[in-house]
């Protein structure tokens, strides 16, 4: 992983985008791209090739989950870790998204002082999981090979 | 009755006997008078046939010796008179024979009618105190007492204890006035069964009109009344909006379903009767499914198709043990949400039966879900601006936008703290709505209470600091395991601890402890606060209720915390309670059933809620 993490943040709420921007610019380490809707994200994503998607759950026109599906299937960005920003009302649903492969959830209202760290932690945990999976499978290959 | 007929026969015989005597006397008298008359006439013509008796002497004396002819004629006339009398009496004898015959006929007709009466009705005879002197076989058969048992007993032994029958004494008083009484009675047999009779009471009076007793004739109209009642009830049930299922306790065999119920299944009553009432757990969806269908074998696990007797037994258990008058359960049927209210009743023959009323609550459920969605939407709508407000305040506080002067910093702090409160209210409302709508899922796993208490004390240290109190882990049992949703229990502990902190005096201690209560583990949170006055006890668990502060200090909160905690604990088969002494403090506690470790795998994904 690069030192610089490129983020595509999608949220229809302009103020939240502003706070997120302020929050992630508190220190170095993030390159932030933002847009206000799913369709915009589908256009932007291939251009900026982000390290992580930060998606609002509830958006008009195309919601967070749908945007994620389209990013994976239509744009072909299967492996980009995706973090959803969810209000507590949708937490059950958010849990479900993690079960089917999302990297994590950041609950709104989030603390702008720690948002960057939360994103970093989520990505580290995700990378570790992946590494474990790979070790597991290589173990299996070895066992079968011998 | 027998006496009455004998009496009338004797009366009828007196007159004919007298007639016999007259006839028997009149015949020899007529013959004698005729002969005597002829003698006197012969004497006139010098025929000496002899003379005797006083008639001749008397007539001779009266008319003189010379008037023999007159005497003879008079005597013959007398004999003719006797003859007429005899003839008349003979005709009477013929009539007598006829009368006798008709009496015999009448008598046999009466005894025949009596026989009919006895085979149809219950006949009893009582004295003027209502003591039985006679009851017929039918009476004995219906009321279950033998003749020997009732003779001398008072008639009110048939009285229903519930007092459904007008008093026998009252009836007797009416009869004593010579009135024939005709009423309907609800009477109790020896075995306690109720019998409805149509009753006619005839008073027995002597010649002077004094009351001797009564003869009572009853016919059993229980079946009639029952069928009338049945018709009445059936027509009432037809109009009932709820579906009604009546079925046996043993085997759950359907005995009756009302029209609404039959309509759901498209049956007539005969078709319905071959079915059984069942509640099953549809395991893949983990929801209760109700149905009435062909008998299926019980007690085979891991199949959603089969009747799960344990669920049904758990449902009706409190009814059978007498703990509850009615049992309520919600289940699904073909996509509908239904609520089943069951009571234990007694069938006409005394066997226990279940009566279940079934209500379609799909609309109510959908309405609830809609309301929940509305609340979620509102909550979300509020949350987005709150995210911005809180985010801005936090960034301001951090000094990102420049260092704040003292007053600005204070104002930002106030705004930040209150936005936190607003979030707490939003979260509480959301939780409460979910709990009310039973939308809250409980992920049950085995939970070690000591660990939970420890975590709760650590996690809530912020509250302790804020209110300048100390959270202390009290007595705890290392191996106290329960089957619970640890997150939800933590929510309850947090609520109880924050309440305790709010109400504690400065520097006070709040003790969180676990203790052994037999079948349960008890978790308690105790404060040394002002206590709850008894008059406020019933308000403690009410939603949106904040108690008036005993010590004059106002505390902030939504008034939903305890209402939510109560529901969460209830979902764990426990009950949230409290002990409080004004001036000493309050202890809130809840008991959870002990889990024997090994009962449940570490990560059981069993879920409690119906949804």
CATH number for A42: 3.40.50.2300
**Fold type of domain B121-225:** Beta-Lactamase (3.30.450)
Domains B121-225 and B241-359 share a fold: yes
- Give the confidence band of B199 by pLDDT, cuts at 50, 70, 90: very high
Helices (H), B437-560: 449-459, 461-467, 486-503
Q: Which fold has domain B241-359?
A: Beta-Lactamase (3.30.450)
Distance CA B350, CA B194 (A): 12
Please name the residues in contact with A52: beta carbons below 8 A apart, sequence gap of 6 or more.
A5, A6, A7, A8, A80, A81, A82, A83, A103, A119, A123
Which residue, among A25, A85, A88, would best test binding to B if mutated, counting the most B CBs under 10 Å from its CB? A88
CA atoms within 13 A on the CB side of B380: 17
Q: Nearest-CA neighbor of B127 among B149, B154, B147, B106?
A: B154
Nearest to B502 by CA among B536, B463, B541: B463
pLDDT exceeds cutoff 70 at B7: no
| Residue B520 C-alpha from the chain's centroid | 36
How many alpha carbons fall within 13 Å on the CB side of residue B160? 14
**List of E strands, B206-351:** 211-220, 243-248, 254-257, 275-282, 287-294, 326-333, 336-346
Query: B204-220: string of b/e by CB count within 10 Å (b at 16+)?
Result: bbeeeeebebbbbbbeb
Architecture of domain B445-593: 2-Layer Sandwich (3.30)
For B69-83, B200-214, B249-263, which range has the lowest pLDDT when averaged over its residues? B69-83
Task: Summarize pLDDT for B368-410 with one digit per residue, the tens.
Answer: 777 767 776 777 678 788 888 988 998 998 888 889 998 899 8
Q: How far is CA B407 from CA B205, B394, B416, B523, in A?
A: 111, 16, 14, 44
B118, pLDDT greater than 80: yes
In angstroms, the CA A118 to CA B305 distance is 47
Contact B387 A16 (CB under 8 A): yes
Q: What is the pLDDT of residues A23-70, one digit of tens each?
A: 998 888 999 999 999 999 999 999 999 999 999 988 888 989 999 999
B522 Cβ contact partners less than 8 Å away, ≥ 6 residues apart: B514, B515, B516, B589, B590, B591
What are the phi and psi torsion angles at B289 (to 5°)?
Answer: -120, 130
B287, β-bridge pairs: B282
Instruction: Give the residue from chain A lying closest to B379, CA to CA.
Output: A89
Report pLDDT for B237: 77
CA distance A115 to chain B (A): 10
Q: Considering only alpha carbons, which residue of chain A is nearest residue B439?
A: A92
Task: Extract the tokens encoding B269.
Answer: 């009553």
Residues 6+ apart with CB under 8 A from B474: B511, B512, B513, B514, B524, B526
For residues B30-35, average pLDDT: 75
Question: Is the pLDDT higher at B43 or at B12?
Answer: B43
- Which of B380, B391, B441 lies at the smallest CB-CB distance from A23? B391
B430–A88 C-beta distance less than 8 A: yes
Q: Which residue has the higher pLDDT, B164 or B193?
A: B193
Whole-number Å distance between alpha carbons of A89 and B430: 7
Task: Indicate whether B304 pLDDT > 50.
Answer: no
A–B: how many Cβ contacts below 8 A? 63
The residues, ordered by sequence, that sit 6+ positions from B611 with a Cβ below 8 Å of its Cβ are B287, B438, B439, B441
pLDDT digits (tens, 9 = 90+) for A102-134: 999 898 888 888 999 999 999 998 888 777 766
Query: Which stretches of chain A sit within 8 Å of chain B by CB?
Result: 13, 15-16, 18-20, 22-23, 26, 58, 87-90, 92, 108-113
- What SS3 state is found at B344? strand
Band the pLDDT of B546: cuts 50, 70, 90. low
Note whether B427 contacts A88, CB cutoff 8 Å: yes
> pLDDT at position A145, please?
34
CA distances from B544 to B560, B561, B562, B564 (A): 5, 9, 9, 11
Is B196's pLDDT higher than 50? yes
Choose between B485 and B155: higher pLDDT. B485
pLDDT band at B343 (very low <50, low <70, confident <90, very high): very high
Nearest-Cα residue of chain A relative to residue B429: A89
**Residue of chain A whose Cα is closest to the Cα of B373:** A89
Phi first, then psi, for residue B200 (nearest 5°) are -120, 125
Residues of chain B with Cβ-Cβ distance to A22 below 8 Å are 391, 395, 400
Contact B379 A23 (CB under 8 A): no
Spans of all domains in chain B:
2-117, 121-225, 241-359, 365-436, 445-593
pLDDT digits (tens, 9 = 90+) for A72-89: 998 888 889 999 988 765
User: Is B379 part of the contact surface with chain A (CB cutoff 8 Å)?
Assistant: yes
Domain that holds residue A68: 5-145
Q: Give residues with Cβ within 8 angstroms of A125, minimum separation 6.
A: A103, A104
Give the number of domains in chain A.
1
In this complex, do B388 and A19 lie within 8 Å of one another by their Cβ atoms? yes
What is the percent of chain B where pLDDT is above 70?
80
Q: How far, in Å, CA of B462 to CA of B429, rounded?
A: 23
Give dist(CA B465, CA B290) in Å, integer: 52
Average pLDDT over residues B137-155: 89
A113–B379: do the CB atoms touch at under 8 Å? no
Q: Dihedral, CA atoms, B111, B115, B116, B118, nearest 10 degrees? A: 130
Hey, are the CB atoms on B394 and A112 less than 8 Å from each other? yes
Nearest of A58, A59, A119 to residue A83 by alpha carbon: A119
Phi, psi of B53 (to 5 degrees): 70, 160
Which helix (DSSP H) or strand (DSSP E) does residue A8 occupy?
A: strand A5-10
Number of H helices, E strands in chain A: 5, 5
Measured between beta carbons, the chain B residues lying within 8 angstroms of A15 are 385, 388, 392
Find the helix or strand (DSSP H, E) in which A72 lies: helix A64-73
- From chain A, pick out residues whose CB is under 8 angstroms from the CB of B386: 108-109
In this prediction, residue B442 carries a pLDDT of 80
> Given B377, B379, B386, which is nearest A109 (Cβ)?
B386
Chain B residues touching A19 at Cβ < 8 A: 387-388, 391-392, 395
**Confidence tier at B556 by pLDDT (50, 70, 90):** low
Residue B490, Cβ neighbours under 10 Å: how many? 18
Residue A2, pLDDT above cutoff 60: no
Taking the C-alpha atoms of residue B421 and residue B497, their distance in angstroms, rounded to an integer, is 17
Range scoring the smallest mean pLDDT among B160-169, B293-302, B431-440, B591-600: B293-302
Tokens of B175: 């009869």
> Is pLDDT of B17 > 80?
no
How far from each other are the two terminal CA atoms of chain A, in whole angstroms?
33
Query: Which among B388, B430, B441 has CB closest to A16?
Result: B388
Residue B494, min C-alpha distance to chain A (Å): 18
Sheet strands side by side (includes B520-527):
B470-473, B509-517, B520-527, B585-593, B576-581
Q: What's the pLDDT score for residue B363?
A: 87
DSSP one-letter code for B242 = S
What torsion do the CA atoms of B35, B37, B43, B44 make, to the nearest 10 degrees?
-150
pLDDT of residue B605: 42
B600 touching chain A per CB within 8 A: no
What pLDDT was estimated at residue B423? Answer: 83
Residue whose token pair is 């089957």: B483
Whether chain A has a CB inside 8 Å of the CB on B441: the answer is: yes
Cβ distance A109 to B427 less than 8 Å, yes or no, reads no
Element (H, E) at B36: helix B2-44
Average pLDDT over residues B448-458: 90
Instruction: With CB atoms and an 8 Å threshold, state whether A109 touches B390.
Output: yes
Q: Which chain A residues touch B394 with a CB distance below 8 Å?
A: 111-113
Chain A touched by B424 (CB under 8 Å): no
């Amino acid at each position: 992983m690069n030192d610089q993490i490129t983020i595509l943040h999608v949220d229809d709420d302009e103020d939240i985008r502003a706070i997120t921007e302020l929050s992630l610019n508190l220190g170095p380490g993030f390159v932030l791209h933002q847009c206000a809707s799913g369709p915009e994200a589908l256009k932007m994503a291939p251009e900026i090739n982000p390290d992580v998607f930060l998606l609002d759950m509830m958006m008009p026109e195309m919601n967070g989950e749908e945007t994620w599906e389209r990013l994976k299937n239509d744009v072909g960005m299967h492996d980009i870790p995706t973090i959803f920003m969810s209000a507590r009302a949708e937490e059950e649903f958010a849990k479900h998204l993690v079960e089917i492969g999302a990297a994590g959830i950041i609950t709104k209202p989030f603390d702008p002082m720690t948002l960057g760290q939360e994103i970093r932690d989520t990505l580290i945990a995700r990378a570790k999981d992946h590494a474990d999976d790979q070790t597991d499978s290589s173990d299996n290959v070895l066992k079968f090979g011998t | 009755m027998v006496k009455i007929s004998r009496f009338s026969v004797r009366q009828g015989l007196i007159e004919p006997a007298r007639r016999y005597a007259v006839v028997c006397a009149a015949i020899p008298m007529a013959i004698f008078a005729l002969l005597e008359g002829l003698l006197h006439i012969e004497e006139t013509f010098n025929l000496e046939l002899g003379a005797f008796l006083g008639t001749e002497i008397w007539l001779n004396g009266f008319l003189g010796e010379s008037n023999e002819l007159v005497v003879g004629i008079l005597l013959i006339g007398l004999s003719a008179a006797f003859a007429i009398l005899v003839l008349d009496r003979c005709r009477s004898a013929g009539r007598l024979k006829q009368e006798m015959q008709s009496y015999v006929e009448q008598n046999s007709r009466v005894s025949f009618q009596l026989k009919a009466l006895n085979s149809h009705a219950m006949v009893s005879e009582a004295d003027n105190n209502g003591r039985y002197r006679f009851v017929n076989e039918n009476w004995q058969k219906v009321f279950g007492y033998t003749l020997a048992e009732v003779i001398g007993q008072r008639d009110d032994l048939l009285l229903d204890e519930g007092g459904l029958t007008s008093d026998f004494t009252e009836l007797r008083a009416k009869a004593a006035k010579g009135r024939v009484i005709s009423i309907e009675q609800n009477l109790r047999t020896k075995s306690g069964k109720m019998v409805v009779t149509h009753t006619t009471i005839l008073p027995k009076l002597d010649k002077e009109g004094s009351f001797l007793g009564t003869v009572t004739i009853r016919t059993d109209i229980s079946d009639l009344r029952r069928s009338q009642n049945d018709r009445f009830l059936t027509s009432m049930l037809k109009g009932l909006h709820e579906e009604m299922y009546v079925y046996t306790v043993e085997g759950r065999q359907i005995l009756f379903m009302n029209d609404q119920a039959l309509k759901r299944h498209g049956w007539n009553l005969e078709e319905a009767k071959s079915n059984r009432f069942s509640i099953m757990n549809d395991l893949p969806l983990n929801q209760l499914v109700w149905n009435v269908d062909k008998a299926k074998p019980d007690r085979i696990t891991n199949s959603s198709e089969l009747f799960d007797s344990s669920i049904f037994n758990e449902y009706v258990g409190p009814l059978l043990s007498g703990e509850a008058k009615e049992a309520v359960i919600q289940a699904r049927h073909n996509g509908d949400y239904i609520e089943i209210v069951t009571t234990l009743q007694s069938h006409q023959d005394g066997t226990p039966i279940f009566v279940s009323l079934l209500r379609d609550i799909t609309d109510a459920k959908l309405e609830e879900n809609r309301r929940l969605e509305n609340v979620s939407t509102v909550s979300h709508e509020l949350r987005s601006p709150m995210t911005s407000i809180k985010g801005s305040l936090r960034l301001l506080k951090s000094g990102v936008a420049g260092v704040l002067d003292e007053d600005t910093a204070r104002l930002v702090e106030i705004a930040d703290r209150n936005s936190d409160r607003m979030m707490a209210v939003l979260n509480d409302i959301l939780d409460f709505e979910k709990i009310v709508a039973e939308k809250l899922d409980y992920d049950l796993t085995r939970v070690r209470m000591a660990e939970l208490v420890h975590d709760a004390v650590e996690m809530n240290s912020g509250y302790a600091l804020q209110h300048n109190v100390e959270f202390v882990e009290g007595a705890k049992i290392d191996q106290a395991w329960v089957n619970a949703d640890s997150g939800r229990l933590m929510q309850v502990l947090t609520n109880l601890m924050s309440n305790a902190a709010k109400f504690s005096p400065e520097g006070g201690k709040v003790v969180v402890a676990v203790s052994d209560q037999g079948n349960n583990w008890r978790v308690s949170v105790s404060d040394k606060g002002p206590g709850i006055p008894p008059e406020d006890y019933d308000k403690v668990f009410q939603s949106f209720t904040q108690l008036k502060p005993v010590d004059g200090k106002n505390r902030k909160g939504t008034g939903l915390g305890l209402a939510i905690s109560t529901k969460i604990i209830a979902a764990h088969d426990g009950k949230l309670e409290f002990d409080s002494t004004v001036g000493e403090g309050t202890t809130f506690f809840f008991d959870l059933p002990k889990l024997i470790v090994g009962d449940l795998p570490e990560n059981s994904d069993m879920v409690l809620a119906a949804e």
